[in-house]
Amino acid sequence: MKRLFTVALTAMLILVLAACGGNESEGKSSNGDGSESGEEKVIRAGIGLNDKHPQYKGLLKFKEIVEEKTDGSIKVETFHSGQLGDDRTMIENLQINSQQVVIPSTAPMANFVPEFSVFDIPFLFPSEDVADQVLDGETGQKILDKLEGQDLKGLAYWENGFRDLTNSERAVSSVEDFKGLKIRTMENDLHLDAFKALGANPTPMAFTELFTAMQQGTVDGQENPYATIYLQKFYEVQDHVSNTHHIYSPFVFLMSKTFFDNLSEENQKIVKEAAEEAGEYERKLNREANEKYLKKLQEEGMEFTEITDEAREEMKKKVQPVVDEYKSKIGEDIVDEVYKAVEEASK
Ligand code: KDG
C-alpha cells in the first residue's frame, strides 16, 4: 500500500513539473544555440592573433558595446591565440553554431566563398583609405552577402593591413631575391601562385602553425603586417624584413547565421552596429600600431630593406599573369566591379 502511494505521488510530481516546464517554454523559441529567447545568450568569439594585437582590442570593444546595449542579456566570451582552432576550423565552427564569431583574413575565406579572393589580388588597394571606401561600400556588401549561402553572416570589414615579407635567409630588395625562398602563405591558391610567379617556393599553412615552422626552419619566411610580425614576436625567428606592401589584407567580422537569424530584430541591429563601431576602432588602433612597429622590429635586431618603386613595379609585372588567370577563376564581373570601385575611390 505504502509503495503504491509513493508511486502515485511521484507520478503526480512529474506531471506537475512537466506542466510548469511546458508553460515556461511555450512562450519561448529556441535560439539555435540551445538557449531560449528571453534568457541570456552567449557569443563565443575566437581569433588567431594574440591578446596584444589591435584585433583583440577591437573584439573587447565589440564585447563592451553588445553587453552594455543588451543590458547583459547577450554575453560575449573572447578567445585569442587560436584557442578555438585555426581560421578554417573556426569558420567551420560558425557553420555548426558551436562558436558564434570569428574575424579571419579574407584569404582563407576564399575556400568557402571564392569571390573573397578578389581582395587578395596583389597591389589591388593603393591605400587604407581606398580600401575602406570599397569594402564599406556597395561592392564590399555584395561580397559579404554571398556568405549567407554558407551559413555565415558577414557583419563588417576590419583591418589586417598591408602585408610585408620577412625571412631568415637574406635581404630582399628585388624580385631576384625571392628565388627559392620557402615562404609560408595563407591557405589561398592566389597567394600560392603569386609567390611562385615571384620565384619563391611557397607553402600554404595555418597561422597557428607558423611560428613553430619558422623556428624549426620548415619555412624561411612569411608575410604579414608589421603589427602582427612584432606582436607575435616573429623577430625572434626572422632576421630580414622588406616593405613589399604586396597585398592589403582585410579581416571580416563573421557571425554564425543560425545564431544571428535567431536574434530579435533589435539585437541583430545591436550586434551589426557593434561590429561596425568596433571595426572603426580596430582600424584606427591598427594603423597607429603599424607605423611604430617597423622601428621596434629594427630595435629587436631585424634588418630592414627598402623596396623601391621600381622594384615594386617589377613585382607587379611578375604577378600580372596570375592576376589575369584568377580574374576568370574569381569571376570577371566581380573583379571588374572591384577594380572600378578602386578607381572611383582613388579619385
Ligand atoms: O587568425 C589569424 C589570422 O586571421 C590572420 O593573422 C591572418 O594574416 C593572417 C595570416 O597570415 O594567417
- What domain range is 271 assigned to? 41-346
Q: Domain total for the chain? A: 1
pLDDT of residue 343: 98
pTM for the whole thing? 0.89
Give the distance (Å) from ligand 1 centre to CA of residue 208: 9
Alpha-carbon radius of gyration of the chain: 24
Give the distance (Å) from ligand 1 centre to CA of residue 48: 7
- The verdict on residue 225 lying in a domain is yes
Atom from ligand 1 closest to the CA of residue 82: 1
Q: How far apart are CA 344 and CA 254, in angstroms?
A: 27
Atom from ligand 1 closest to the CA of residue 103: 4
- The verdict on residue 156 lying in a domain is yes
- The verdict on residue 188 lying in a domain is yes
- The verdict on residue 20 lying in a domain is no
End-to-end CA distance of the chain: 92
CB 157 within 8 A of CB 136: yes
Residue nearest to atom 7 of ligand 1 (CA): 105
- The verdict on residue 36 lying in a domain is no
Taking CB atoms and a 6 Å cutoff, what residues make up the pocket around ligand 1?
47-49, 87, 104-105, 160, 186, 207, 224, 228, 249
Residue nearest to atom 9 of ligand 1 (CA): 105
**226 contact partners, CB below 8 Å, separation of at least 6:** 161, 164, 241, 289, 290, 293, 294, 297
- The verdict on residue 276 lying in a domain is yes
- The verdict on residue 313 lying in a domain is yes
Number of Cα atoms under 13 Å in the Cβ half of residue 96: 6
- The verdict on residue 110 lying in a domain is yes
CATH number for 183: 3.40.190.170
Q: In a 10 Å sphere around its CB, with 0-12 CB exposed, 13-18 middle and 19+ buried, how is residue 6 labelled? A: exposed
Atom from ligand 1 closest to the CA of residue 104: 4
pLDDT of residue 11: 54
Q: How far is CA 213 from the centre of its chain?
A: 21
48: left (phi over 0), alpha (psi -120 to 50) or beta: alpha
pLDDT in 10s for each residue of the chain, 347 residues: 555 555 555 555 555 544 443 333 333 334 444 445 556 799 999 999 999 999 999 999 999 999 999 999 999 999 999 999 999 999 999 999 999 999 999 999 999 999 999 999 999 999 999 999 999 999 999 999 999 999 999 999 999 999 999 999 999 999 999 999 999 999 999 999 999 999 999 999 999 999 999 999 999 999 999 999 999 999 999 999 999 999 999 999 999 999 999 999 999 999 999 999 999 999 999 999 877 999 999 999 999 999 999 999 999 999 999 999 999 999 999 999 999 999 999 99
